[in-house]
Structure 1
C-alpha cells in the first residue's frame, strides 16, 4: 500500500490509573480510529465460547457463574500467580492480536476510501511488557502523578491492584521506552490539547 494511504499505527499505554482510556477517547474525538484491547478482551470473555470453556476448565465454574465469565474472579486467579497469568495471556493474546490486525486493515481501507484518519491507535496496557512495541510505528505513554493514579485506581475498584502493578513496568520505564510521553494529571482539555500536538507530529 502506498505510504500516503497507510495510516500511522500507534500503540497507547500507561500505568494503572494513568488515564489510558480517557486518552483513547480524546484521540477518537480528534479523528483517530481507536481500539481498546481491554474492550476486546471483555468482548472475548462475553462471546468466545472456546475461551470460556478453557477458563472454566482451568479454574472451575466459579469464574463463570451462569455461563458468563466474571473478570474479577479471573483476575484473582491470574494476578495472584505469575504462572497462571502467563497461561491466561497465552489464551488471550493471540485472539487479541487477530482483532488488532483486522483493525489496522480497516483503518488503512478507510483512508484508501478517502476518510481523513490521522492515526490508528490501539490501547495496550502491557505494550512493552509483551514486547509488542515493534508492531507499531510509534508509541505513546500516558503518565500521571502517583497520587492521582492511586486515587483513580481505587475509585474504579480494581481487583488485586498491587499484583497488577507488579506485573507491569514502572511508569518511568514505560515513559523511557515510548516515542511520545503525555502527562495526564490535569483537565481532559489539557490532555486533548497535548494529544492533538502528538497527532500533528505523526
Structure 2
C-alpha cells in the first residue's frame, strides 16, 4: 500500500486531481466529505458542535456551515475548538476506510489543511497541487462568486504556497487546462501504482 497525502490551496484544483487519481484506481479518502459526515444530523459530532457554539443548525436540523464559518473565521480559539471536535473524528473514519483497502492500493488522503495540521510526515509521500496565487483568485472569483478581497482573505488564511511546496515529495502544476492535467496524472500514475505493489 502506498499512502499519499494530497493537498493544495483553495482554488488549486485539488478536487480535479483527486478525481483523476480515483479514475486510475486510487482509493481516495476525502477529508472534506468526512468532515461533513462526522457532523451530519444525528451524530455525536453535531451534538458537540451545538454544545460548543450554540444553535448553529438550519431549520431542518443540519449544521449551518455558513453560520459556523462566520463564528470561526478570524477567531483562532473558536476555530481550534471546532477542529478539536471534527479532526479526531475525521482521522478515525479515514483510518477505518484505509484499513478496508486492498494491500496493493494507492490510498490518497485528500486533505486541504494537511500542512496547517502538521500531517505531512504521516504519509509515504505528499503530493501538492500547485498554482500561482493569481490563478487561485481568478478561479475563486469566477467559479465560487467571491470578490477579489474574499478570495485573497481565504488564500491568506491557509498555508502559503512556499510552506506547501516545502513538504511536497511530488508537485502537480495545475495552472493549465484539464487536458494538461490529464497528461500530468497519466505521467505520475504508473510510478505511484508501482510503489504501491
| TM superposition score normalised by structure 2 | 0.86
Residues 4-153 of structure 1 mapped to structure 2, 5 A cutoff: 7-47=1-41, 49-61=43-55, 63-66=56-59, 67-108=61-102, 111=104, 117=105, 119-153=106-140
Query: Comparing both structures, which one devotes a greater share of its residues to helix?
Result: 1
Structure 2 equivalent of residue 185 of structure 1? 175
Q: CA deviation at 1:167?
A: 3.4
| 1:40-76 CA-partner distances (Å, limit 9, x unpaired) | 1112222452222222222221x21221101111111
SS at 1:17 equivalent: coil
Structure 1: gaps spanning 5 or more residues: 1-6, 112-116
Structure 2 equivalent of residue 156 of structure 1? 144
Give the aligned CA root-mean-square deviation in angstroms. Answer: 2.0
Deviates more, 1:42-51 or 1:12-21: 42-51
8 Å CA contact 1:27, 1:192 repeated in 2: no
Q: CA deviation at 1:129?
A: 1.4
Structure 1 equivalent of residue 195 of structure 2? none
Structure 2 counterpart of 1:171, from 154, 161, 164 = 161
8 Å CA contact 2:137, 2:151 repeated in 1: no
8 Å CA contact 2:31, 2:109 repeated in 1: yes
Instruction: Count matched residues.
Output: 188
Structure 2: gaps spanning 5 or more residues: 193-197
